[in-house]
Structure 1
Protein backbone atom coordinates (compact mmCIF):
# COMPACT_ATOMS: atom_id res chain seq x y z
CA UNK A 1 0.00 0.00 0.00
CA UNK A 2 1.03 3.59 -0.48
CA UNK A 3 3.02 5.55 2.09
CA UNK A 4 -0.15 7.43 3.10
CA UNK A 5 -1.45 4.10 4.44
CA UNK A 6 1.47 3.61 6.87
CA UNK A 7 -0.54 4.52 9.98
CA UNK A 8 -3.58 2.54 8.90
CA UNK A 9 -4.74 -0.87 10.09
CA UNK A 10 -4.50 -4.01 8.01
CA UNK A 11 -6.24 -7.34 8.46
CA UNK A 12 -3.31 -8.66 10.52
CA UNK A 13 -3.65 -5.73 12.95
CA UNK A 14 -7.23 -6.60 13.89
CA UNK A 15 -8.45 -9.06 16.51
CA UNK A 16 -11.91 -10.31 17.37
CA UNK A 17 -13.10 -8.29 20.36
CA UNK A 18 -11.01 -5.21 19.55
CA UNK A 19 -13.01 -2.01 19.85
CA UNK A 20 -12.77 1.56 18.65
CA UNK A 21 -14.50 4.64 20.05
CA UNK A 22 -15.09 7.77 18.02
CA UNK A 23 -15.07 11.40 19.01
CA UNK A 24 -18.47 13.07 19.55
CA UNK A 25 -20.59 14.89 16.98
CA UNK A 26 -23.37 17.38 17.82
CA UNK A 27 -26.71 17.00 16.09
CA UNK A 28 -27.91 20.59 15.95
CA UNK A 29 -31.37 21.68 14.86
CA UNK A 30 -29.82 23.34 11.83
CA UNK A 31 -28.01 20.17 10.74
CA UNK A 32 -31.16 18.06 11.23
CA UNK A 33 -33.29 20.47 9.20
CA UNK A 34 -30.71 20.87 6.44
CA UNK A 35 -30.17 17.12 5.95
CA UNK A 36 -33.87 16.31 6.08
CA UNK A 37 -34.88 19.09 3.70
CA UNK A 38 -32.58 17.59 1.07
CA UNK A 39 -32.71 13.85 1.73
CA UNK A 40 -35.72 12.92 3.93
CA UNK A 41 -38.33 15.72 3.65
CA UNK A 42 -40.91 14.46 6.11
CA UNK A 43 -42.59 16.87 8.55
CA UNK A 44 -41.23 15.16 11.69
CA UNK A 45 -37.72 15.86 10.33
CA UNK A 46 -38.28 19.30 8.76
CA UNK A 47 -40.89 21.13 10.85
CA UNK A 48 -40.57 21.36 14.63
CA UNK A 49 -44.22 22.34 15.09
CA UNK A 50 -45.60 19.57 12.90
CA UNK A 51 -43.23 17.12 14.58
CA UNK A 52 -44.94 17.76 17.94
CA UNK A 53 -48.10 16.07 16.61
CA UNK A 54 -46.20 13.15 15.07
CA UNK A 55 -45.19 9.72 16.33
CA UNK A 56 -41.93 11.32 17.53
CA UNK A 57 -43.55 14.04 19.70
CA UNK A 58 -40.92 16.50 18.54
CA UNK A 59 -38.25 17.08 15.95
CA UNK A 60 -36.22 13.95 15.22
CA UNK A 61 -33.23 13.46 12.95
CA UNK A 62 -33.70 11.18 9.97
CA UNK A 63 -32.31 7.71 10.55
CA UNK A 64 -30.35 8.23 7.34
CA UNK A 65 -28.80 11.37 8.85
CA UNK A 66 -27.78 9.31 11.88
CA UNK A 67 -26.33 6.70 9.51
CA UNK A 68 -24.38 9.37 7.61
CA UNK A 69 -22.95 10.83 10.82
CA UNK A 70 -22.11 7.33 12.00
CA UNK A 71 -20.20 6.75 8.77
CA UNK A 72 -18.17 9.91 9.29
CA UNK A 73 -17.35 8.89 12.85
CA UNK A 74 -16.42 5.37 11.71
CA UNK A 75 -14.04 6.70 9.05
CA UNK A 76 -12.35 8.85 11.69
CA UNK A 77 -12.15 6.14 14.39
CA UNK A 78 -11.56 2.88 12.49
CA UNK A 79 -8.48 3.67 10.35
CA UNK A 80 -8.47 0.77 7.89
CA UNK A 81 -5.90 0.77 5.10
CA UNK A 82 -7.72 1.39 1.84
CA UNK A 83 -10.76 2.82 3.64
CA UNK A 84 -14.01 1.41 4.96
CA UNK A 85 -15.37 -0.53 2.00
CA UNK A 86 -18.74 -2.02 2.84
CA UNK A 87 -20.01 -5.38 1.60
CA UNK A 88 -23.40 -5.28 3.33
CA UNK A 89 -24.97 -4.07 6.55
CA UNK A 90 -27.94 -4.47 8.86
CA UNK A 91 -29.10 -1.33 10.62
CA UNK A 92 -31.72 -0.42 13.21
CA UNK A 93 -32.70 2.78 15.00
CA UNK A 94 -34.00 1.92 18.49
CA UNK A 95 -34.14 5.56 19.65
CA UNK A 96 -34.69 8.89 17.91
CA UNK A 97 -31.86 11.39 17.68
CA UNK A 98 -32.92 14.86 18.85
CA UNK A 99 -31.53 18.36 18.43
CA UNK A 100 -28.73 18.83 20.93
CA UNK A 101 -27.76 15.16 21.07
CA UNK A 102 -24.06 14.39 20.92
CA UNK A 103 -23.39 11.14 19.09
CA UNK A 104 -20.46 8.79 19.62
CA UNK A 105 -19.80 5.41 17.99
CA UNK A 106 -18.31 2.32 19.60
CA UNK A 107 -17.28 -0.31 17.05
CA UNK A 108 -16.30 -3.88 17.93
CA UNK A 109 -14.68 -6.44 15.65
CA UNK A 110 -17.00 -9.47 15.82
CA UNK A 111 -15.48 -11.73 13.17
CA UNK A 112 -12.46 -11.93 10.83
CA UNK A 113 -12.46 -14.14 7.76
CA UNK A 114 -9.54 -14.56 5.38
CA UNK A 115 -10.35 -14.80 1.69
CA UNK A 116 -9.48 -18.14 0.12
CA UNK A 117 -9.62 -16.79 -3.43
CA UNK A 118 -8.10 -13.31 -2.83
CA UNK A 119 -5.06 -13.62 -0.52
CA UNK A 120 -4.56 -9.84 -0.46
CA UNK A 121 -7.76 -9.30 1.51
CA UNK A 122 -10.17 -10.52 4.14
CA UNK A 123 -13.52 -9.55 5.60
CA UNK A 124 -14.31 -8.12 9.01
CA UNK A 125 -17.71 -8.07 10.67
CA UNK A 126 -18.01 -4.82 12.64
CA UNK A 127 -20.77 -4.13 15.14
CA UNK A 128 -21.31 -0.43 15.80
CA UNK A 129 -23.51 1.28 18.35
CA UNK A 130 -24.17 4.98 17.92
CA UNK A 131 -25.06 6.40 21.33
CA UNK A 132 -26.17 9.80 22.53
CA UNK A 133 -24.63 11.75 25.41
CA UNK A 134 -26.62 9.66 27.92
CA UNK A 135 -25.31 6.39 26.51
CA UNK A 136 -28.66 5.47 24.93
CA UNK A 137 -28.26 3.50 21.69
CA UNK A 138 -29.75 5.47 18.79
CA UNK A 139 -28.43 3.27 15.99
CA UNK A 140 -27.09 -0.27 15.89
CA UNK A 141 -25.42 -1.73 12.82
CA UNK A 142 -23.58 -4.87 11.84
CA UNK A 143 -21.49 -4.44 8.71
CA UNK A 144 -19.22 -6.63 6.64
CA UNK A 145 -16.21 -4.67 5.41
CA UNK A 146 -13.32 -5.49 3.14
CA UNK A 147 -9.94 -5.33 4.90
CA UNK A 148 -6.66 -5.42 3.02
CA UNK A 149 -3.75 -7.57 4.10
CA UNK A 150 -0.19 -6.26 4.19
CA UNK A 151 1.80 -6.69 1.03
CA UNK A 152 4.43 -9.41 1.36
CA UNK A 153 7.85 -8.06 2.33
Structure 2
Protein backbone atom coordinates (compact mmCIF):
# COMPACT_ATOMS: atom_id res chain seq x y z
CA UNK A 1 0.00 0.00 0.00
CA UNK A 2 2.87 2.36 0.80
CA UNK A 3 4.28 1.96 -2.72
CA UNK A 4 0.88 2.92 -4.14
CA UNK A 5 0.69 6.02 -1.94
CA UNK A 6 4.19 7.15 -2.91
CA UNK A 7 3.62 6.61 -6.62
CA UNK A 8 0.26 8.39 -6.45
CA UNK A 9 1.89 11.33 -4.65
CA UNK A 10 4.59 11.38 -7.28
CA UNK A 11 2.08 11.54 -10.14
CA UNK A 12 0.18 14.33 -8.38
CA UNK A 13 3.30 16.38 -7.60
CA UNK A 14 5.13 16.01 -10.88
CA UNK A 15 4.48 18.44 -13.71
CA UNK A 16 5.39 15.87 -16.37
CA UNK A 17 2.23 13.97 -17.38
CA UNK A 18 4.36 11.32 -19.12
CA UNK A 19 5.12 9.70 -15.76
CA UNK A 20 1.47 8.86 -15.08
CA UNK A 21 1.33 5.82 -17.36
CA UNK A 22 4.55 4.10 -16.15
CA UNK A 23 3.65 5.00 -12.55
CA UNK A 24 0.30 3.26 -12.74
CA UNK A 25 1.80 0.37 -14.71
CA UNK A 26 4.30 -0.08 -11.87
CA UNK A 27 1.48 -0.12 -9.30
CA UNK A 28 -0.50 -2.60 -11.39
CA UNK A 29 2.51 -4.90 -11.75
CA UNK A 30 3.14 -4.77 -8.00
CA UNK A 31 -0.48 -5.73 -7.32
CA UNK A 32 -0.15 -8.63 -9.76
CA UNK A 33 2.86 -9.93 -7.84
CA UNK A 34 0.99 -9.58 -4.56
CA UNK A 35 -2.09 -11.32 -5.97
CA UNK A 36 0.01 -14.27 -7.17
CA UNK A 37 1.36 -15.01 -3.70
CA UNK A 38 -1.85 -16.71 -2.52
CA UNK A 39 -2.08 -19.12 -5.49
CA UNK A 40 1.63 -19.89 -5.03
CA UNK A 41 1.12 -20.73 -1.36
CA UNK A 42 -1.80 -23.03 -2.20
CA UNK A 43 -0.05 -24.72 -5.11
CA UNK A 44 1.51 -28.13 -4.53
CA UNK A 45 2.91 -28.74 -8.00
CA UNK A 46 6.49 -27.50 -8.46
CA UNK A 47 5.97 -26.85 -12.15
CA UNK A 48 2.95 -24.66 -11.44
CA UNK A 49 4.92 -22.85 -8.73
CA UNK A 50 7.70 -22.23 -11.26
CA UNK A 51 5.19 -20.74 -13.68
CA UNK A 52 3.76 -18.43 -11.03
CA UNK A 53 7.26 -17.34 -10.05
CA UNK A 54 8.10 -16.65 -13.71
CA UNK A 55 5.10 -14.32 -13.97
CA UNK A 56 6.15 -12.63 -10.71
CA UNK A 57 9.69 -12.18 -12.03
CA UNK A 58 8.39 -10.68 -15.28
CA UNK A 59 6.24 -8.23 -13.30
CA UNK A 60 9.23 -7.35 -11.11
CA UNK A 61 11.26 -6.60 -14.25
CA UNK A 62 8.43 -4.43 -15.59
CA UNK A 63 8.39 -2.45 -12.35
CA UNK A 64 12.14 -1.87 -12.58
CA UNK A 65 11.72 -0.65 -16.17
CA UNK A 66 8.85 1.64 -15.16
CA UNK A 67 10.81 3.07 -12.22
CA UNK A 68 13.79 3.71 -14.51
CA UNK A 69 11.52 5.44 -17.05
CA UNK A 70 10.05 7.63 -14.32
CA UNK A 71 13.52 8.39 -12.99
CA UNK A 72 14.62 9.57 -16.42
CA UNK A 73 11.68 12.01 -16.53
CA UNK A 74 12.05 13.51 -13.05
CA UNK A 75 14.21 16.59 -12.74
CA UNK A 76 13.23 18.11 -9.39
CA UNK A 77 14.60 16.96 -6.04
CA UNK A 78 11.32 16.51 -4.09
CA UNK A 79 9.94 14.11 -6.71
CA UNK A 80 13.28 12.31 -6.93
CA UNK A 81 13.07 11.79 -3.15
CA UNK A 82 9.55 10.35 -3.54
CA UNK A 83 10.76 8.00 -6.27
CA UNK A 84 13.76 6.94 -4.17
CA UNK A 85 11.44 6.16 -1.29
CA UNK A 86 9.07 4.27 -3.61
CA UNK A 87 12.07 2.31 -4.92
CA UNK A 88 13.12 1.44 -1.35
CA UNK A 89 9.57 0.32 -0.53
CA UNK A 90 9.54 -1.79 -3.69
CA UNK A 91 12.86 -3.40 -2.71
CA UNK A 92 11.45 -4.22 0.73
CA UNK A 93 8.29 -5.62 -0.87
CA UNK A 94 10.41 -7.89 -3.07
CA UNK A 95 12.37 -9.11 -0.01
CA UNK A 96 9.10 -10.02 1.69
CA UNK A 97 7.86 -11.62 -1.54
CA UNK A 98 11.05 -13.71 -1.77
CA UNK A 99 10.49 -14.91 1.80
CA UNK A 100 6.86 -15.76 1.03
CA UNK A 101 8.03 -17.79 -1.98
CA UNK A 102 10.74 -19.51 0.07
CA UNK A 103 8.30 -20.45 2.82
CA UNK A 104 5.71 -21.50 0.26
CA UNK A 105 8.25 -23.86 -1.29
CA UNK A 106 9.10 -25.28 2.13
CA UNK A 107 5.47 -25.77 3.05
CA UNK A 108 4.87 -29.48 2.97
CA UNK A 109 1.33 -29.37 4.32
CA UNK A 110 -0.28 -29.73 0.92
CA UNK A 111 2.14 -32.44 -0.20
CA UNK A 112 1.70 -34.25 3.12
CA UNK A 113 -2.07 -34.08 2.81
CA UNK A 114 -1.93 -35.39 -0.75
CA UNK A 115 0.41 -38.17 0.28
CA UNK A 116 -1.75 -38.99 3.26
CA UNK A 117 -4.91 -38.96 1.19
CA UNK A 118 -3.26 -41.16 -1.44
CA UNK A 119 -2.14 -43.69 1.15
CA UNK A 120 -5.44 -43.43 2.95
CA UNK A 121 -7.34 -44.08 -0.28
CA UNK A 122 -5.23 -47.17 -0.98
CA UNK A 123 -5.64 -48.43 2.57
CA UNK A 124 -9.40 -47.86 2.53
CA UNK A 125 -9.64 -49.63 -0.83
CA UNK A 126 -7.66 -52.58 0.56
CA UNK A 127 -9.86 -52.69 3.68
CA UNK A 128 -12.98 -52.64 1.53
CA UNK A 129 -11.54 -55.45 -0.57
CA UNK A 130 -10.83 -57.54 2.55
CA UNK A 131 -14.27 -56.78 4.02
CA UNK A 132 -15.94 -57.75 0.76
CA UNK A 133 -14.01 -61.02 0.77
CA UNK A 134 -15.03 -61.64 4.37
CA UNK A 135 -18.67 -60.86 3.58
CA UNK A 136 -18.59 -63.26 0.66
CA UNK A 137 -17.00 -65.90 2.87
CA UNK A 138 -19.68 -65.36 5.52
CA UNK A 139 -22.43 -65.51 2.89
CA UNK A 140 -21.07 -68.70 1.40
CA UNK A 141 -20.62 -70.13 4.90
CA UNK A 142 -24.22 -69.09 5.70
CA UNK A 143 -25.36 -70.87 2.60
CA UNK A 144 -23.43 -73.92 3.66
CA UNK A 145 -24.85 -73.71 7.18
CA UNK A 146 -28.42 -73.18 6.03
CA UNK A 147 -28.21 -76.07 3.59
CA UNK A 148 -25.87 -78.35 5.42
CA UNK A 149 -25.17 -78.35 9.11
CA UNK A 150 -27.80 -75.86 10.08
CA UNK A 151 -30.46 -78.03 8.53
CA UNK A 152 -29.42 -80.93 10.76
CA UNK A 153 -29.89 -78.86 13.89
CA UNK A 154 -33.39 -77.74 13.10
TM-score w.r.t. the length of structure 2 is: 0.25
Q: Whose helix proportion is higher, 1 or 2?
A: 2
Q: Which has the larger radius of gyration?
A: 2
TM-score w.r.t. the length of structure 1 is: 0.25
